[in-house]
Every structure is written in C-alpha cells, then in structure tokens.
Chain A
Amino acid sequence: EVQLLESGGGLVQPGESLRLSCAASGFTFSSAVMGWVRQAPGKGLEWVSDISSTGDATFYVDSVRGRFTVSRDNSKNTLNLQMNNLRAEDTALYYCAKRMRSTGGSYDSWGQGTLVTVSS
C-alpha cells in the first residue's frame, strides 16, 4: 500500500522559512515523479512543484520559483520542500503526491497534508 506522510508544517511569520518533508513507502520511490500541491483554506487545488525520479529536473509554479526548492533523497525515500521568504499567500495545506507514471501522468496517491500558516 502506498503511503505518503507529510511533516514540517507550522505557523511562521512573513519572511521566515520552513522545510516540509514527505516520507514515502509502499512503492519504488526512486522510480516515481513526485510533486507538491497546495490548497489554501476553503479554496481549490494549486500545483506547486514537481521533481523527476532522479532529482535532476525540477519544476515550479511561477509564484514560488526562486523562493521554494524541491529535493529528494532516494536513499531515504523522502521528498522535501524548502520554503524561504514565506508570504501570507503561501498559507495552505501542502500535499505530497506521487505521479502515476515515471514519465508523468496524474497524481495517483496523496498524503494527508501538512498545514503551513504564514501570519504575523
């Protein structure tokens, strides 16, 4: 059974940093394209970032490019999202998700999410 468990969320002030992690199990992590999707309170889904299976290709939504960095440790089956210079508009539930195919596809597994709140 695929399991994705996010951690690292919390309350921070604008301009501060936070590092999210996602522990993966139940599948061959090193072969999977992984991503982060967020959902602001009461709002819809917004894709944030993807990373290739090897970690050598990363992709970001424009609003976080230059502030967020996605990475992975295939030896530890862990996905990370380093978030710097956080803004109020980054407040959301952040989901870790696995893409269906090694070449992409839809997200076929999701974690429960970790809440990030940016407020002074």
Chain B
Amino acid sequence: EIVMTQSPATLSVSPGERATVSCRASQSVSTNLAWYQQKPGQPPRVLIYDVSTRATGFPARFSGSGSGTEFTLTISSLQSEDFAVYYCQQYTAWPLTFGGGTKVEIK
C-alpha cells in the first residue's frame, strides 16, 4: 500500500496570503496524483488532477506541482471561499489512498 502523508495538518493563513500544502508518497506515484477540496457538509471536489491540471471551475490561484513522491498544492492568494480541507490522493495503484487532510483555516 502507498502511504500518503500530508503536512501540515492545519494551516492558519490570512486572506490574501499564500498557502502551501505538502503531500509525500511512500513510493513513486508517477503523475497519478490529485488534490480535492472539501467544505463542511459537502462531498469532496477534485481540484487538481495529474499533479498539475486544474479542474473545471477552479481559478488560476490554485496550482499543483511535484513528481514521483513529493507534491505541493499552492494557493497563491487565499480568498474567503478557499478555507476548507484539502486532501491529496494517489491513483497509480490499488488500494487507492488519500492523505490525512490539511485544514486551511482563517488566521
């Protein structure tokens, strides 16, 4: 099983500031890495897939990068609607696995 480790667990950021979330895989997942955004009471939404492709509906302030085992989600200038929990997920091999999540909260 590929273990996905996210950090930090909680990120306190002021609106307008930059937020960076890290995700590390226990072995290479190639480019089979996605990020999901989840707001309270809602299902997750895919935000980034294939490491760096932004999903429909998300603005350019969201970006993903990395390769192999180290990945990063960056939100360049946090807006109020971006405060949520973010999960990374690898889909290179079953069992599919998620990171533990990063809660981005208002500082």
Residues of A at the B interface (CB closer than 8 Å) are 35, 37, 44-47, 50, 59-62, 95, 99-100, 104-108, 110-113
Contacts and interface: CB of A to CB of B under 8 A. Distances in A.
By secondary structure, the A interface counts as strand
Interface stretch (B18-26, B74-82, B93-101): B93-101
Interface in B20-51: 32, 34, 36, 38, 43-46, 49-50
A113 B43 contact: yes
15 contacts: A44-B101, A45-B36, A45-B89, A47-B89, A47-B95, A47-B97, A50-B96, A59-B95, A95-B44, A100-B46, A106-B34, A106-B36, A106-B50, A108-B49, A110-B43
Contacts, number: 60
B87 A45 contact: yes
Contact of A62 (B55, B87, B95): B95
Contact of B43 (A35, A44, A50, A111): A111
Contacts of A47: 89, 95-98
A97 B50 CA distance: 17
Contacts of A112: 43
B43 A108 contact: no
B89 A44 contact: no
Interface in B46-92: 46, 49-50, 55, 87, 89, 91
Nearest to B98: A45
A113 B43 CA distance: 7
B95 A45 contact: no
